[in-house]
Every structure is written in C-alpha cells, then in structure tokens.
Amino acid sequence: MNQRRVVITGMGGICALGSNSGAIWDGMKEGRDGCRPIEIEARDLKVNVGCGIIGYPEEDGVDKRQSVTMSGIGRISVIAARQAMQQAGLEPGGFNPTRSGAVVGVGIFGTDAVDQAYVDIFVEKKKRPHIFTVPRVMPSGPSAHVSIAMGLQGPVFGVTSACSSGNHAFISAVDQIRLGRADVMLAGGAELALVYGPLKAWEAMRVLARSVCRPFSADRDGLVLGDGAAIAVLESYEHARARGANILAEIIGVGMSGDASDIVNPTVEGPAAAIRNCLADAGISADQVDYINAHGTATQANDQTETRVIRDVFGSAADKVAVSSTKSMHGHCLGASSAIELIACVNAVREGVIPPTINYTTPDPLCDLDITPNVARERKVDIAISNAFAFGGTNAVIAVKKV
C-alpha cells in the first residue's frame, strides 16, 4: 500500500527572533542573537541571560474566557497556530473539523502556573492556588487549547520527550495523516523556560552558558535557555492539492530511536539510528542531504557527540553537507526547539540559504564539520534534516524536501 504523502502548508511561531515565522527566518538569515539579559524578581539566580520572546502582540486574539484556563505555553501555542492556519489559507468552514487535529510537544509543563501556585501557597499564604491551576499545568494543555481555538475535532493529544518533543509532535502528526485518521494536523512545540523554578533547576546541572550560546566553538560553555512556540499545518498531499493550497515543503521521512543507556549522557549509536531510520523512511541516501539543522546545544558533550554521529552516518559525505545550529540565535527552547528549527529547514529548501551558527570563534578539532560559522550562506538545498536528541535518549529526526 502506498503511503500518503505529507506536506507543510503553513507555519507560525514566536520566540526571541520575532513574533511570526517570517520574522524568525529573517532573524536566522541575519545571524541575529536573541540572547539578552533576563529580568526575574528572584534575586538569587546566578544565570542572567536568556532568549526571551520579543514582539508579543498587544492583542493576541485569544478568547478571554479561554485565556483564564491557560498557562503561557497554551497562549503562545494558539498564537503560533493561528498564524499557521492563516498562512495555510484554512478558515472555519473551509475544512472538515472531524478530520483535523492537533499535537503539541512540551519539554516540561505549564511552569509559570506551577511557580504561581507555589507563590500563592508558600509566600502569600493563600489557602488554595488558582482554580484552574490543574488545566494550566497539564502538558496536554497547549494541544487542547489549539484544538479549542481552531475547532479541531480529530486526533488531539500532547507529547513530551524533553528536547525532542517538537519533532516527536511532528512525527505523531505525520503518522495520523499517513494512517488515514486525519487530513489536516497542526503540530509543533511550546515552552516557557525562563521561569524561576526551571531556571534554578537548570542552574543546578551546571550546563548554562555565562554569556552567549556558542555551538561547536571550542570556547563554548553551555546552553542558553529560551521561550517560544512554533506550529506547522501538516496536510495530506491530496487534501492540499484539492483545495489549491500553497505547499511550502514535504516531510519525506521521519526517524526515531532510544539510547537505552543514560538519562543525561548521549550515545553515538542512538542518534545515529534515528537519522538512519529517517533516511530509510524517506528512501534516500545520506549523500542526498544538503543541510542538517543540528541539535547543537553548545555543551561540550553534545556537540562532540553529534559530530561523531553525523560522521558515523554520513561517512565521506559529512565533509560536504552544510550544518548549523540555530540555537545559537533563538536559544534552547526545550520542547519548542525542534519546532522552531523546522522553520529553518523549510525555508532553507525554499530559498537556498543555510542559516549560520553564530558566536563561533575558535575551531574545535572534535567538531570538524562545516558548521556555517557566523554568516548565512547561499546553497542549493533540495533536502534538509532536523536533529533532535534529548535527555533520556529520546531521539527524533525529520527530513523535508522542496516540492
């Protein structure tokens, strides 16, 4: 049986580089650094930089009654979803709601709602937190709110796999379309990492950068956390063609794997298997890939391991493929990272531009790939892949192609 083709017809986003997918892509091409000082009331934070959202709309269009039940990740998910629907040209009544669904990945949960509940109980000594704390906190909240706001009555659920959550959401949505359960799926990721509780937890791991994010550079000293969301409209090729949609790109392959090794230390074998599974699903060879959007967190272990992974899978082709980490610009948005990074992959194949890895100063002999240092580069890109490797050894890779 032939598999249903899955295409992307709309994208939306909001993060440190801008308040829509177009602005985010422009920021990537310009090599704009979204890292800036953060302001949080708690004074005992050692980290003082992050990639906070810019350009948040004064009127975000979220229903006031619905907004009372939302955490911040639900709100930014709806903002990104509405943008994606508009770009896709999908309006209420213009599609079958029972054949349309939503999958949104989050790395943690509604962190702002949890923090506020703790303040209410332990600081302000209230008898109870906000009445809607539970729905605000639940990891499936963003997908539910996208469903409610957009009227999607098909498959609706959340996924969570740490920093691979966005790609796992895309893969889950692809599966729903391939299996014939849906014709349209909104998928992506959302995260608010610049919240006191999560920041203290990340501080304890001692993996946060002191100033800026420097993936693959020898002087890298850790990741920079960021807030953001990105949502894409995925459709079956037949559905998109039938309604005359403008197709941005096609998802030609997906791959997943588990390290089954260590909760925080990555392996080479697990991520390599995910990439190989993706290439096999797409029916392509490694030397057909023109661009890799690397996981590229700017920790010592991740960047060296990912370099070994790419060399293991690509062999001699590893010296020819363009690589970059856009986390150097928008930060590590955890569950939203790979969703934001799909914006880079889709536009790379559409425009023939490789976004750079900024803040690169010193070559690392253990990261000897063409990582597109500091300045974007024009190059013909027919196929791009997006890597997402997470704590727990949960790996997810997606391949997109120009249509």
Catalytic residues: 163, 295, 332
Task: Please answer whether residues 372 and 356 qualify as being in contact, where contact means their C-beta atoms are separated by less than 8 angstroms.
Answer: yes
Task: Please answer whether residues 5 and 237 qualify as being in contact, where contact means their C-beta atoms are separated by less than 8 angstroms.
Answer: yes
Instruction: Copy the structure tokens of residue 362.
Output: 């010193």
In 44-108, beta strands by DSSP E:
49-50, 100-105
User: What 3-state class would DSSP assign to 225?
Assistant: strand
DSSP class of residue 92 equals T
Q: Which residues pair with 194 in a beta bridge?
A: none
In terms of phi and psi (left: phi > 0; alpha: psi -120 to 50; beta: otherwise), the region of 321 is beta
Instruction: Quote the CA–CA distance of 403 and 383 in Å, as a whole number.
Output: 10
DSSP class of residue 400 equals E
- Calculate the alpha carbon distances from 314 to 5, 257, 292, 295 in Å: 26, 18, 11, 16
Instruction: Quote the CA–CA distance of 178 and 184 in Å, as a whole number.
Output: 11
Instruction: Copy the structure tokens of residue 122.
Output: 């332990």
**Which residues, in sequence order, are CB contacts of 403 under 8 Å at separation 6+?**
7, 247, 248, 249, 250
Instruction: Quote the CA–CA distance of 126 and 108 in Å, as a whole number.
Output: 25
Task: Please answer whether residues 285 and 279 qualify as being in contact, where contact means their C-beta atoms are separated by less than 8 angstroms.
Answer: yes
Q: Which residues pair with 396 in a beta bridge?
A: 256, 388
The answer to whether the Cα torsion of 167, 172, 177, 183 is positive or negative is negative
Residue with tokens 């692809």: 174
Instruction: Quote the CA–CA distance of 275 and 2 in Å, as a whole number.
Output: 22
DSSP class of residue 93 equals T
